[in-house]
Amino acid sequence: MESTQSNMNNRRAAVQRRIVDKDGHNKVRIDNVEGMVKLYLHDIWTTVVDMKWRYKITLFASTFVMTWFIFGVIFYFIGMGNGDLEGNLNSNHTPCVMNVETLTGAFLFSLESQTTIGYGFRYISEECPLAIFTLVAQLVITGLAEIFVTGAFLAKLARPKKRAETIKFSQLAVICQHQGKLCLMVRVANMRKSLLIQCHLTGKLLHSNVTEEGEKTQVYQTAVDFHMDSSGECPFLILPLTFYHILDEHSPLAGLNAENLYTRPFELLITLNATMESTAATCQSRTSYVAQEILWGYEFKPVLFGTTGGRYVADFNFFDKVQVSNDPCFLKNNSEKLKLEEDYKKE
C-alpha cells in the first residue's frame, strides 16, 4: 500500500508534458525557424489580428502619429524648398502652405488635413503643385492604413474565439459502465443563453508510437470518436451534456484498465465544433486530459434539477463533481485504487 502510494506521488511530482493545456491553448514552442519575421510579414493581416491588445493599441496609435509626422516633415521640406521659411519674403510671394513657418506648424497642418478638421488658419495654396500632390497622396495612403487597422480591430473583436471561452469542459474525465459498455466520459456545457447548434465533439489521442520499420514518433495522433444518446444526430447544446467513448477492441485505448491507467503516457485532446445561433459563425473550443485527470470507476454527479415552478436548473456546483460508480465490477477488489484516486482529487 505504501509503495503504491509512493509511486503515485512520484508520478504526480513529475513534469507532465502537454500539447494543449486545459483552456485549449497550444503549449508547443516553435524554435529555430529561419526567416520567422519574414514569414509573419508575408501574412501581415493574420499577424495583426493575432496581436495582443496592448501591441494592437500601440500599433493603432503609432500609425496615426507616424503618418502625421512623416507628412508634416514632407510639407516642411516643400515649404523650405519654396523659400517659405525665409525671414524676409516679398509681398508677391505665395507660400505653398499658408501660416506654416516651423516644423510644429507643418505637423499640425498634416494632422488637420488627415483628420479633416481644417482648414482655417493653415491651408494649402494653389501655387504649389507638389504640395497639392503630397496632400492627395497623404489622404489616400492614410485612408488605406486606417481601413486596415480598423478592420483588424473589428476582426479581433468579432472572432469566434471569445465565444469558445464560454464553453466549459469538465476538469476530469471518468471511466464507468454506460448501457452495459465500458466508456470514457466527459461533460460539456454552454455557459451562455445563446444557443450552440450543430455541435460535434471529436477526440485525438496523442501518444508515442513505433512503426513496423522501427521508426519512433514522439507524438502520434489517433482519432477517438465520441457519441451521445441522440440517435446519431448533432446534439443541441442547451443543457450540460455528457459525451462518451466506448472502450472496446476498436478503441485506441483498448486494454486500458485500473492498473495500467497511470502508467500509459498519453494525452486526450477534445475538440468541440459548433455553430453560433446568433451569428451563424462556427467556433471551436478545446481541452485535454492526461492520464492523471481520468478517474477509473467514477461517474458524474447529476447537474440538472427540476424546480417546483416547472423549470429546469443546471447547478454548476455539481458540474465537476464525481462519485464512485455503483457498478459491482468496479467495486470488487478495487478499494485501494479508489482510495488513491480520492487522495489525488483532494490534492
| Domain identity same for 151 and 255 | no
Percent of the chain's residues with pLDDT above 70: 86
Residue 30 lies in a domain: no
Cβ proximity of 110 and 100 under 8 Å: no
Domain coverage including residue 180 = 2-23+165-346
The amino acid present at 211, given as its one-letter code, is T
| Domain identity same for 314 and 262 | yes
Rounded Cα distance, 14 and 340, in Å:
17
Residue 96 lies in a domain: yes
The half-sphere exposure of 31 on its side-chain side, counting CA atoms within 13 A, is 3
Supply the pLDDT for residue 221.
Answer: 87
Residue 325 lies in a domain: yes
| Domain identity same for 75 and 153 | yes
Domain end residue (candidates: 103, 128, 159): 159
Rounded Cα distance, 203 and 286, in Å:
10
Residue 29 lies in a domain: no
Residue 33 lies in a domain: no
Name the more confident of 342 and 156: 156
Supply the pLDDT for residue 72.
Answer: 92
Tally of domains in the chain: 2
| Domain identity same for 188 and 289 | yes
Residue 231 has pLDDT above 70, yes or no: no
The amino acid present at 35, given as its one-letter code, is G
Residue 214 has pLDDT above 80, yes or no: no
User: Which H helix or E strand runs over 287?
Assistant: strand 282-290
Mean pLDDT of 28-34: 77
- C-alpha closest to that of 23 among 167, 160, 154: 167
Query: Domain holding 191: CATH number?
Result: 2.60.40.1400
Residue 171 lies in a domain: yes
Supply the pLDDT for residue 184.
Answer: 92
**33, 37, 49, 150 from 40: Cα distances, Å:** 11, 5, 12, 20
Supply the pLDDT for residue 137.
Answer: 92
| Domain identity same for 242 and 331 | yes
Supply the pLDDT for residue 3.
Answer: 42
| Domain identity same for 116 and 192 | no
Residue 111 lies in a domain: yes
Domain end residue (candidates: 129, 159, 189): 159
Domain end residue (candidates: 159, 183, 202): 159
Residue 54 has pLDDT above 70, yes or no: yes
Residue 35 has pLDDT above 80, yes or no: no
The half-sphere exposure of 212 on its side-chain side, counting CA atoms within 13 A, is 0
Please provide the average confidence, as pLDDT, over all residues in the chain: 81
Name the more confident of 142 and 12: 142
Residue 292 lies in a domain: yes
| Domain identity same for 237 and 97 | no
Cβ proximity of 110 and 118 under 8 Å: no
Mean pLDDT of 262-290: 86
Supply the pLDDT for residue 331.
Answer: 55
Rounded Cα distance, 49 and 165, in Å:
18
| Domain identity same for 109 and 195 | no
- Whole-structure pTM value: 0.67
| Domain identity same for 279 and 149 | no
Query: Domain holding 88: CATH number?
Result: 1.10.287.70
| Domain identity same for 61 and 18 | no
| Domain identity same for 249 and 314 | yes
* Predicted confidence (pLDDT) per residue in 56-98, tens digit: 889 888 988 999 999 999 999 988 888 877 767 677 778 888 8
| Domain identity same for 170 and 239 | yes
Q: How confident is the model at residue 179 (pLDDT cuts 50, 70, 90)?
A: confident
Q: How confident is the model at residue 235 (pLDDT cuts 50, 70, 90)?
A: low
Residue 124 has pLDDT above 90, yes or no: no
Name the more confident of 167 and 91: 167
Supply the pLDDT for residue 13.
Answer: 40
Mean pLDDT of 278-296: 86
Most confident stretch, 13-22, 39-48, 137-146, 203-212: 137-146
Supply the pLDDT for residue 133.
Answer: 92
Supply the pLDDT for residue 169.
Answer: 92
